[in-house]
Structure 1
């Protein structure tokens, strides 16, 4: 039962869903008026580009034996998916969330791009960082940034995300997917770009 729960945590909080959670969180918390059709269009685009497209590309890469599992266990497996993900995020930044439209989300995805590129460079040098922790920590820091920027109380969200981060770390350790060092590296790789970019949209 314990093994099932911990495996489920890794699956439910997969890195692919974190960008979407960030977008939904922003739209639900921002005091800015954003027309509902605009929000729906952005969410739809993010679902297509950050979830559906990567899954389809994963199956393509699996077919040609470039990856084995969706968890990308080796640094070699990570190179192509991370590079493709950088391109996808660039597409989002230029076409879906340009800087002059929704500034907070633009910097959120810019932070994701920086974290993904850092993870790619680490993989080139055969260094693993937990992608689960990168994604979850990035969303966590973005939620705090949103609260700071708009002066809103999200203590409940912060407490919940702290528990989730702990659960993800426990899950990855239990499944022997990462070491403590890889989890910590992932945590700071996700947090730091979002924290630094806060200065640009305050």
Structure 2
């Protein structure tokens, strides 16, 4: 039973959903007026580009035997998906969330791009960082930054994200998908780009 729960945590909080959670979190917390059609268009674009397109590309890569599972267990498996994800995030930054529209989301995705590039470089050198922890820790840092930026109380949300981070880390360790060292690398790879980019928008 415990194995099913921990596998479920890894699946439900897969890195692919974290960019969408960041966008939804922003739209739910920002005091700025953003027309509903604009919000829906941005959310729809993010769903297509960060969830549906990567899943379709994964099955294509699986068909040609370039990847084995959606969790990308080896550093070799990670190279092509991470490179493709860099292209997708760059496309989002250019076409969906340019800096002259919603600057907070622009820098959130720029941070995601930096983290993805860092993870790709680590994979080239056969260093395996937890992509789950990269994604959730980046979202965590962004949520705190939004709270400071808009001076809002999100203690409940922060506590919930920390619980989720702990659950994901426990899941990855229990399933032997990562070592504690790889989890720590993942946390810092996700946190630091978001933290550094605060200087440009906070």
TM-score, length basis structure 1: 1.00
Match of 1:41 in 2: 41
1:32-80, CA deviations, whole angstroms, 9 ceiling, x for partnerless residues? Answer: 1100000000000000000000000000000000000000000000000
Structure 2 distance, partners of 1:131, 1:95, is 25
Q: CA deviation at 1:195?
A: 0.8
Q: CA deviation at 1:108?
A: 0.2
Q: CA deviation at 1:19?
A: 0.2
Match of 2:4 in 1: 4
Deviates more, 1:189-198 or 1:72-81: 189-198
Asked if 1:59 is matched to 2:20, the reply is no
Match of 1:98 in 2: 98
Count the aligned residue pairs: 202
Structure 1 distance, partners of 2:152, 2:197, is 19
Q: CA deviation at 1:199?
A: 1.2
State the secondary structure of the residue aligned to 1:93: helix
Match of 1:29 in 2: 29
Moved over 2 A (4+): none
1:88-129, CA deviations, whole angstroms, 9 ceiling, x for partnerless residues? Answer: 000000000000100000000000000000000000000000
Match of 1:163 in 2: 163
Q: CA deviation at 1:134?
A: 0.2
Match of 1:118 in 2: 118
Unaligned runs of 5+ in 1: none
Structure 1 distance, partners of 2:22, 2:172, is 22
Match of 2:200 in 1: 200
Match of 2:188 in 1: 188
Match of 1:80 in 2: 80
Match of 2:129 in 1: 129
Q: CA deviation at 1:150?
A: 0.6
State the secondary structure of the residue aligned to 2:152: coil
